[in-house]
Amino acid sequence: MWVMSAHARTAALGAMVGWTLGAQNAGRKGFRKLSFYDPIPPRMPSSDALEAWLVWSRHLRSGQRPEALGASLLASWNYPVDESVFGLANVSRGLSSPISGAFSNPLSGGSRAIGRAVYWGIALHGKPDDAAEYAYYDASIDHDKEGVWVAVAFARTLAQVTPGVSFSDFVRALMDSLPKESKVLTAVSQVLKSLDSPDGAREVRESLPGKLGITDQQDAVLTAAWALLGLAHGHMELEPSLLVCAGCGGAAGHSTMVVGAVAAMASGDVPVPWSKPVGESFVCGHGLRGIEPPSKVEGFLDLVESDAQNFSFVEPAVAEVAAEGTAPVAVRRTHPLSERMRELLAAEQNTTTTVCGEAIVGMQYLSPPVARTKETLKMTLTIKNVGEAEASYSPKVTAPKGWEVAHKIGEFKLLPGMVTSFAIVVRPMKETEGAQSVVVKVGGDELRFPVLAPQLWYSVGPMQNQEGTGFDREYPAEKNIKLGQVFNGRSNLPVEWTAYRAGSVQFDVEKLFGAGPGTVYFFAHVRFASPGKYRIVVASGVGAIVWVDDHKLYWYHDTHTPVPRVVEPYVGYFESAGESRILIKTFRNLAPVPSMTVYFLAEDGSLAVPTAFLPIA
């Protein structure tokens, strides 16, 4: 029997070392051969992932269920960066995980949940499916598919790491934790092949993104690959594994946290030259709310060690099996993926879940949670009894005034562990300007399941765009934004400004181009919650020109696969008096174009959803 708490402490320190090294190399696109920290830091950098561990620790200690993780994160952790911008916004609007990570999130395959997931593998060690379930509801706050699958797989596999574990055993457990659709399985084969070459890590780093068709350097699949490259070429030893992983760049920090935790737990040691630069003080950012962080690194490690003592399952690393007269044979325990986790990983992330006393109430949106006038919105209400006794339920469902609603929900009973579901159909009968809610009363609780209003944009086109000439040409519609005004479109066909109701930040512009080259304009008159400084992100695969309040803010003309992060050339800064007029011009050449992503950010980085989209005359 091995003492889990001591290894939990070592693994947590290894994760801190990994973050400290990885932060120096985050964002790098190529491979760099490293020998140590460069420069040697005076202390650890702040880590939003490690601060999330503090939120998760309090969540576990208060006995809360994994389905409630989104509410805990929203209440105590404010780091609206990359995909977390969209996840936090969705949770604040009443959409919990798993739909909060999938709906209207153009960066849902990112890596920001991976560092958070390391906590579950440590605190719930020996309980791989418990670690996986918590990691699932954690990652799906702000991720979908690979962004969730990778975090879950690392949490589940780390929960099975024991001293002396081999890389082949680690990879086998990781592959058993992934859906068969995951691109990480392809990455694993490339990593294993690279072991035959002395420069294999560099070769995989340079070739794998192209082989997988991934252009986003922060993609969770690539982050998983770089972590596996490190552990493979470093033979599961902390120093060489970290150096190879950090040398891959990308989402270094998250990848190196995994490597540091795994290698430290496997070896039971973090060499002093690596731990000393972390320093004595626990460095915290400015996004933690309502939680007093430990002032010292030792205090942070004490907390993680205590959580492992309270929540992990300590078991022998191997079972001793011996026939009479023979020496004992070590047999490694295996943990097949549970049926529940298989179902969660395979399911569409279109459900919002709420803990309601001794019941888990879920609303599955079979249609996107957006109110479109006279269009049917299909939903499924699910209630699971998680109590220890039979319970009676008689849910009451109401829709907003003026909406039609139909269902066949009556009174029923559920034994412990049982679940039942009911179909609900609602139809908005008039235009809605703001978010509404379908209300479900369960016992004394009134649960609100949001239905969001679409964003009212206007589009006109397609105009002519021969051999890219549409970028420089000024069309009459650009200066004449009025309903009823007819313009000369592509092939001399008449076009005019038409309402375009966007259900998410991703616009399906290919439909507007009608499978041919063209130029299309989008216009919106938006009202923000308050005057202030804002950013607008417009990510197109061909190019765009963006005007705000008749000022040409920025432009680019480049055929590529867009990654809609807050980086050039997609972002522009502007100041609004409270209302602003937005005009966007975009294009299509001969090839089909991907969705165009459009969103606003407030000065603090949070998603700035306009409070109103005003109609044009």
pLDDT digits (tens, 9 = 90+) for 492-546: 999 999 999 999 999 999 999 999 999 999 999 999 999 999 999 999 999 999 9
Q: Which residues share a beta bridge with 532? A: 576
Longest CA–CA separation in the chain, Å: 96
Map out the domains of the chain as residue ranges: 4-317, 350-451, 455-614
Q: Report the alpha-carbon distance of residue 216 to residue 226 in Å, rounded.
A: 14
Half-sphere exposure of 513 (CA within 13 A, CB side): 25
In the prediction, which pLDDT does 319 show? 41
What pLDDT shows up at residue 89?
98
Residue 76, amino acid? S
The predicted pLDDT at position 468 comes to 82
The CATH code belonging to domain 4-317 is 1.10.4080.10
Rounded Cα gap, residues 108 and 563, in angstroms: 11
Query: Which residue stretches of the chain have pLDDT < 70?
Result: 1-5, 314-334
Looking at the structure, give the CATH architecture of the domain made up of residues 350-451.
Answer: Sandwich (2.60)
Spatial separation of the C-alpha atoms in residues 420 and 356, rounded to whole Å: 15
How far is it, in rounded angstroms, from Cα 4 to Cα 125?
A: 8
CATH architecture of 455-614: Sandwich (2.60)
Q: Which of 540, 546, 521 is nearest to 461 (CA)?
A: 521
How far apart (Å, rounded) are the C-alpha atoms in residues 77 and 289? 6
Rounded CA Rg of the chain: 26
Q: Where are the alpha helices (DSSP H) in 95-163?
A: 99-102, 114-123, 128-139, 146-158
State the pLDDT at residue 314.
67
Q: How far apart are CA 294 and CA 300, in angstroms?
A: 6
Helices (H), 313-437: 339-346
CA dist 178 and 185 (Å) reads 8
Strands (E), 292-376: 318-321, 329-332, 351-356, 359-365
> Contact 23/320 with Cβ under 8 angstroms?
no
Q: What is the pLDDT of residues 64-103, one digit of tens each?
A: 999 999 999 999 999 999 999 999 999 999 999 999 999 9
